[in-house]
Structure formats: C-alpha cells, structure tokens
Amino acid sequence: MLVVTDLARSRAFYQEVFGLRVISDFGANITFTGGLSLQTKDSWESFIHKPAGEIAFGGNDAELYFEEDDIDAFLVRLGGLEGIEYVHPPQEHGWGQRVVRIYDPDLHIIEVGESMRVVCKRFLGEGMTPEQVAERTQMPERFIKNCMK
C-alpha cells in the first residue's frame, strides 16, 4: 500500500502507465489488480496516529517492482506519456536485466524490469550456452533449461 496526496491523480497514473484496474474502491483507499493499494494521506495519518509532518515522500528508500516481457514496447509507451519523471534512464544491470526506474506522482520509486525468463531467452537467442547464461544471470541452470522449452 502506498500513501498518496491526490488519490485521483495517483489512480490515473497507475491505470495509464501500468494498465492496472481498480477492483475495490473504498473512497480513501483503492485496490488494484495485482494487489497494489493506494491510501489517502489524510486517512493514513488518522490510522497511524501521526501528524502530517511525520509523513514524508520522496525518501528514495524503497521501490515497487513490476516486470514486463517486452521492455522495449513498455519504454516506447512510457516515452509517449506526459509528466513521467525518471529516477534514471533505462539501463542494463550486470546480470543482463534491462530496467527503468520512474517516480509516481508522490515520488515513490517504481522499477520496471524484464522478467529473468525473457533475459535468459534473449541470451540463449544470442548464442550463449546454458552454462554461460547461468553464469551471467546468476540463475540456476535448471531455470535456464526451462527457458529453453
């Protein structure tokens, strides 16, 4: 669950960027497909009995993680949206997974990365052996062999 300052704005962001659908709407709290919930800041303050000054946004200390099988198509779609603030541009980690991190409207970090199954298939398609893929991705050879099916 994420605390947000403007529920309507955050709802639109998660629907537009990730295609999530609202499955429960309780006014001050909504739940999306996939289990993500948003809670208004005002209601959250009353739940935890803390003053507004003790609720901070943009701490860069946590992130939500989503996977995309077609990261290139996601990046194209993301590039066509207005107001997206990037934590960093798309990058490839040492284990081969391509990711991008963005901020949501309340500066929560969201990482979107390729699934490791897609990464392994990409490397296998480039001619790497299962052993080389396992070494590069740090995934077990059993997982790599399942990706070959």
Residue 23 domain-assigned (yes or no): yes
pLDDT tens column, 30-58: 999 989 999 999 999 988 888 888 888 88
State how many domains the chain has.
Answer: 1
State the pLDDT at residue 86. 96
CATH code for position 39: 3.10.180.10
Can you say whether the dihedral through the CA atoms of 91, 93, 95, 99 is positive or negative?
negative
Instruction: Measure CA 6 to chain center.
Output: 20
Q: Is residue 27 part of a domain?
A: yes
Q: Tens digits of per-residue pLDDT, 131-140?
A: 999 999 999 9
Q: Give domain status of residue 5, yes or no.
A: yes
Is 16 a domain residue? yes
**Interval 80-110: pLDDT, tens:** 999 999 999 999 999 999 999 999 999 999 9
- Residue 54 belongs to a domain: no
Domain-located, residue 76: no
Q: Name 67's Cβ contacts closer than 8 Å, sequence gap at least 6.
A: 112, 113, 114, 115
Q: Which domain holds residue 44?
A: 1-48
Residue 26 lies in a domain: yes
- In three-state form (DSSP H/G/I as H, E/B as E, the rest C), the secondary structure along 26-72 is CCCEEEEHHHCEEEEHHHHHHHHCCCHHHCCCCCCCCEEEEEECCHH
Kindly report the pTM of this predicted structure. Answer: 0.86
Residue 21 placed within a domain: yes
